[in-house]
Amino acid sequence: MKRGDFYRVHKGDKYDPKDYRVYLVVSRQLLIDTQFNSVICAPVHTKYENLPTQVDVGADEGFKHDSAIYCDYLASIPKHLLTNFVSHLSNDKMQEVNTALRIALAVE
């Protein structure tokens, strides 16, 4: 498992109306490599409003539909649920995610 990996997760968030959702792993690699049992992830939604905390993704990232990574709606997902690998985000897009996370968390 690596930072920047997308996984399809069954009921990653109990409040999500969808049975499955794709999540992007955003935890630092040092944490991912430990025995800590969960990682921080950002969900991917097909609806988006071009907010500065959303990063667009699409066919280049392995998606059927244009979508967005929601960096202002983070979730702690147990590692054992992250088994259905989808794709890995490019370095350029990961930089966009880093910027969106800084905005979402008000980190300068």
Per residue, the 3-state secondary structure of 29-90, as one string, reads HHHHCCCCCEEEEEEEECCCCCCCCEEEECHHHCCCCCEEEECCCCEEEEHHHCCEEEEECC
Asked if residue 34 has pLDDT above 70, the reply is yes
Listed by start position, the domains of the chain span 5-104
Q: Tell me the CA distances in angstroms from 30 to 3, 51, 78, one per residue in order.
A: 10, 29, 16
The residue behind tokens 């979508």 is 67
CATH number of the 5-104 domain: 2.30.30.110
Three-state DSSP class for residue 105 = coil
Q: Measure the CA–CA gap between 36 and 51, rounded to whole angstroms.
A: 32
pTM greater than 0.75 (yes/no): yes
Query: For 47-75, what is each residue's pLDDT tens digit?
Result: 888 899 999 999 988 899 999 999 999 99
